[in-house]
């Protein structure tokens, strides 16, 4: 039995066939994997709660900033006198950069260290927001506000959540729920604050002040304490690694796509998350625009977003206790929440009353909170422990593709039709498609697939140099 100790955190490892899951099949119902290497007893607490706090701050600042950009887009549209399609590209391109750079962020975090990468990301996001306050050309905002800021957010966000997955096993649902609860705080607080700042200092002053707030992510990065675990793989005579390793090229393995070979059902989950990303991003981007078209005051509309964020925060903070019991598979709860989200979006189109919209925002926030928090649990259950960072990278990558395509198409539809209803319809349709794909994956994912054991000599300790993979 090997013992790895880092910063007073002791982790015992035993070599057996268990995946380390406390409750069997959590994701698609697949059997425990043969040829797996480790059963790691993770802390499930201790310093891990500070990692959860760091993740909470990352979620709060990123999602809050994105919701604030939704408020900012209305002001930018008036200032630059451009159509909704060009202005909304700031949001869609930003999400595309943040989410689709996640495989790069996860790889950098694994090889350079989570704390170092997260600190660099925090400084980049600060610089991007700060310089955006001095931009006079919309095309330059695509670089500063969309690319630089969101790539920095990605470098800070992904390594933090990957480290959270390593610190927790049995309580991962609770820790993940507490961490993603930052979404509610960000969405509740930053949109109305941004609207007040725009009214008082203009959009430039608002962006500069937001940059100062985002600098607090450096504090979040300082909380990260790497968990150094030596992981070993056991030779399984049923697998012929040299013959199969050609299926995943080295550059593909670098960004985590190789885990698809060992668990093909991940493709279905990724596709479902692509459509859900399109639905979620479209709604958040055009919510303020639809409220404006309905005749709701912009400050009142920002308060609606606050209600949405509050209900989302509530469900994110509390759902983990139920999920960790594993009474119902997390993927089943995810399917139900996405279906409910899509139905509520269809109802949203026909509600014009302010208080009716506020009531809908409560339920939309609840379903949105579950739908955005549970994929981290689902992806973690679907792969081996050493591939958690890669799995999260794939999740956010597919989510980002959906955001970019969905928001761009919805912006073009809005310009051609002149009504924001079409954006809500498109968000609802994408939500239904996502739930259907995830249901199909759940049903047919029960077929067991033998995983490929990948050569990973870097994870062997010096005492195990002669160990065969």
Tens-place pLDDT, residues 165-193: 788 877 877 887 888 778 767 777 787 88
Separation between Cα atoms, residue 304 and residue 70, nearest integer Å: 13
Q: Point out the residues of the chain with pLDDT beneath 50.
A: 1-40, 230-248, 251, 447-469
Q: For residue 271, give the nearest of 29, 154, 452, 439 by alpha carbon.
A: 439
- Model confidence, pTM: 0.65
pLDDT value for 168: 83
DSSP character at residue 142:
I
Spell out a b/e string for 417-430, using b for 16 or more CB atoms within 10 Å of the CB, else e.
Answer: eeebbbbbbbbbbb
Residues of the chain by 3-state class (helix, strand, coil), percent to 5: 75, 5, 25
pLDDT at 451: 37
Token duo for residue 44: 């499930």
Closest to 67 measured CA to CA, from 368, 446, 293: 368
Nearest to 380 by CA among 17, 14, 9, 28: 28
Instruction: Give dist(CA 305, CA 186) in Å, integer.
Output: 10
**Side-chain half-sphere exposure of 1, counting CA atoms within 13 A:** 9
Q: What is the pLDDT of residue 38?
A: 42
Task: Write out the two tokens for 463.
Answer: 């005492």
- In the prediction, which pLDDT does 37 show? 43
Strand partners, 5: 10
> What's residue 262's pLDDT?
63
- Cβ neighbours for 163, distance < 8 A, ≥ 6 positions apart: 51, 109, 114, 224, 226, 227
- State the pLDDT at residue 385: 67
DSSP structure class, residue 452: P
Check residue 151 and give its pLDDT.
92
């Amino acid at each position: 039995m090997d013992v790895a100790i880092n910063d007073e955190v002791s982790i015992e490892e035993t070599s057996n066939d268990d995946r380390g899951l406390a409750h069997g099949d959590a994701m698609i119902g697949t059997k425990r994997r043969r040829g797996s290497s480790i059963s790691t007893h993770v802390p499930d607490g201790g310093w891990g709660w500070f990692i959860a706090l760091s993740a909470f701050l990352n979620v709060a600042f990123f999602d809050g900033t994105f919701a604030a950009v939704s408020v900012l887009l209305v002001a930018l549209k008036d200032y630059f006198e451009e159509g909704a399609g060009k202005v909304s590209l700031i949001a869609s391109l930003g999400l595309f950069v943040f989410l689709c750079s996640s495989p790069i962020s996860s790889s950098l975090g694994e090889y350079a260290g989570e704390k170092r990468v997260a600190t660099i990301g925090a400084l980049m996001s600060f610089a991007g927001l700060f310089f955006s306050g001095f931009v006079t050309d919309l095309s330059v905002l695509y670089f500063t506000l969309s690319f630089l800021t969101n790539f920095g957010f990605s470098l800070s966000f992904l390594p933090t959540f990957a480290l959270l997955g390593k610190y927790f096993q049995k309580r991962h649902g609770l820790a993940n729920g507490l961490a993603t609860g930052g979404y509610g705080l960000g969405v509740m607080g930053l949109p109305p604050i941004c609207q007040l700042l725009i009214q008082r200092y203009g959009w430039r002053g608002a962006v500069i002040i937001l940059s100062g707030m985002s600098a607090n992510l450096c504090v979040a990065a300082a909380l990260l304490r790497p968990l150094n675990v030596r992981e070993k793989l056991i030779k399984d005579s049923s697998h012929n690694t040299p013959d199969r390793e050609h299926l995943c090229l080295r550059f593909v393995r670098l960004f985590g796509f190789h885990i698809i070979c060992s668990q093909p059902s991940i493709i279905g989950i990724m596709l479902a998350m692509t459509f859900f990303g399109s639905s979620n991003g479209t709604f958040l981007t055009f919510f303020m625009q639809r409220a404006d078209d309905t005749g709701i005051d912009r400050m009142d509309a920002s308060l609606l977003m606050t209600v949405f964020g509050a209900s989302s925060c509530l469900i994110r903070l509390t759902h983990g206790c139920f999920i960790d019991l594993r009474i119902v598979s997390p993927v089943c709860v995810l399917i139900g929440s996405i279906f409910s989200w899509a139905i509520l979006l269809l109802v949203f189109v026909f509600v014009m009353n302010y208080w009716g919209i506020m009531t809908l925002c409560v339920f939309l926030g609840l379903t949105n909170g579950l739908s955005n928090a549970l994929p981290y649990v689902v992806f973690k259950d679907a792969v081996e422990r050493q591939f958690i960072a890669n799995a999260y990278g794939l999740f956010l990558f597919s989510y980002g593709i959906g955001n970019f395509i969905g928001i761009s198409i919805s912006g073009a539809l809005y310009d051609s039709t002149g009504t924001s209803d079409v954006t809500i319809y498109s968000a609802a349709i994408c939500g239904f498609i996502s739930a259907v794909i995830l249901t199909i994956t759940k049903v047919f994912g029960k077929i067991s697939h033998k995983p490929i054991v990948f050569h990973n000599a870097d994870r062997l300790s010096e005492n195990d140099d002669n160990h065969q993979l």
